Amino acid sequence: MEPLIRLPAPSVTGGPAVWQVLSARRSIRHYGDGPMPLEVLSQLLWSTHGITGRLGPHELRNAPSAGACYPIEVHVVVNSVFNLKPGLYRYLTEDHALMLQRSGDVGLEMERAALGQRMCSQASVMFVWTAVMPRTTARYGERGRRYVLLDAGHVGQNMYLAATATGYGCCAIGAFDDDAMNEAVGVDGVIEVVVYAASVGPLE
Ligand SMILES: Cc1cc2nc3c(=O)[nH]c(=O)nc-3n(C[C@H](O)[C@H](O)[C@H](O)COP(=O)(O)O)c2cc1C
């Protein structure tokens, strides 16, 4: 089994004002050069999935989730990050760590699965969000399917804002071939399903 790659602790103070970040947020599809520092990747993952509190047995995170079920998991496609080999990683929330699933040019596979959108292979990283459906549907039935998508939207918006705040460009990706995307990240498409993605890279 691959060892855990512990990420640097995120910064929880400072940064630009939230109003400034909201005004500046835009979908950015073309990126500059240079690998992303691990500190930035850490900040982006914490901003979207970080544990920020506890309520009894439940963890609470910086993105809200219906019933605090947290069905959304994130798979990280590394194209160009300092000290990380290119490949597909899984983010482990409790450990704030990454685990390599497989190395290689996964960005190119993502580009094909996302109907030829070049930002998938040009970005420093791509985030692919899967939903573990029963976490929410076991509690809410069919309505839970809608909740899962709303949860993913919140995570995506946090990513946009965190990328903007760190001086990076982000673009949401909803246009992809579901089967190809599920296969590329290694989920079955029934219990765990790819629901959303985003690319992040340096501004040009
Ligand atoms: C659910 C969703 C899916 C999206 N999918 C894509 C996509 O696959 N490719 C893309 O280039 N932009 C995608 N976008 C970005 C939108 O095109 C963008 O938000 C919109 O044009 C408004 O521009 P702005 O984000 O710069 O304000 C998506 C946005 C959302 C919310």
- CB of 78 sitting under 6 A from ligand 1: no
Give the three-state DSSP class for 201: strand
Q: What is this structure's pTM?
A: 0.97
- Residue 187, pLDDT > 80, answer yes
CA of 53 to the centre of ligand 1 (A): 31
The pLDDT-based confidence of 1 (bands split at 50, 70, 90) is confident
Q: Is the separation of the CB atoms in 130 and 187 below 8 Å?
A: yes
**Exposed e or buried b per residue across 36-65, where buried means at least 16 C-beta atoms within 10 angstroms of its C-beta:** bebebbbbbbbbbbbeeeeeeeeeebbbeb
The reported pLDDT for the residue numbered 125 is: 98
Determine the residue of 127, 150, 157, 171 to mutate for testing ligand 1's pocket, defined as the one with the most ligand atoms within 8 A of the Cβ atom.
171
- By most ligand atoms within 8 Å of CB, the mutation choice from 27, 119, 122 for ligand 1 is 27
The gap from C-alpha 153 to its chain's centroid, in whole angstroms, comes to 11
**Arithmetic mean of pLDDT, 35-54:** 97
Q: How far is the CA of 163 from the centre of ligand 1 (A)?
A: 15
Compute, in angstroms, the gap from residue 3 CA to the centroid of ligand 1.
35
State the average pLDDT over residues 137-160.
Answer: 98
- Nearest Cα to Cα of residue 9 among 36, 52, 46: 46
Per-residue pLDDT reduced to its tens digit, 57-99: 889 999 999 999 999 999 999 999 999 999 999 999 999 999 9
Domains of the chain: residue spans and CATH:
17-202 (3.40.109.10)
- Backbone CA torsion sign across 29, 148, 8, 160: positive
C-alpha–C-alpha distance, residues 180 and 26, integer Å? 27
Answer yes or no: is the C-beta of 154 below 6 A from any ligand 1 atom: no
